Amino acid sequence: MNHTRSPTHIPDTFSLTSEAVMSGTWDSSILAEILRRKSASDETPTFLLLGRREAALLRSHLASAFGEDSVVTLKGSYYMGLEVVEIDFPEFFHTGGHRATPRSSGLQSKSNSRSDMDGGSIWSLRLD
């Protein structure tokens, strides 16, 4: 059987399911619970993938805290340590990627300075 690969949007929202559904407002506790669960099994995510609806909820949440002018776009933004990636899909909420910690990758670090984290961490995008 021949399969041809065609360019798709990342993530493949047809095979990757949302991890949560937000109600009418942004709920940080939902993301915090997902991060606790994944971090407990050494799966520390690096990305927060949001559909249009969830991205709008996050922008509204951040605007109420920091003002409308400070949240024009989520591009290049980080929330709870995750890089926010807005995808062109109506509703989607997923944490992805993987940050290899010194314990899980065999790397050993003597300090936790910012330069050590940038140079000593291994980051990859893995969508499960």
Token pair in block for residue 23: 């109600």
Has residue 15 been placed in a domain? no
Structural domain span for residue 66: 30-124
Has residue 37 been placed in a domain? yes
Q: Give the mean pLDDT of the chain.
A: 77
Over range 98-125, report the average pLDDT.
53
Has residue 118 been placed in a domain? yes
Has residue 1 been placed in a domain? no
Cα 93 from Cα 21, distance rounded (Å): 7
Judge whether 44 and 101 are in contact, CB under 8 Å.
Answer: yes
- In the chain, the number of structural domains is 1
Q: Is the pTM of this model over 0.85?
A: no
pLDDT reported for residue 6? 41
Asked which of 21-25, 45-49, 93-97, 118-122 is least confident by mean pLDDT, the reply is 118-122
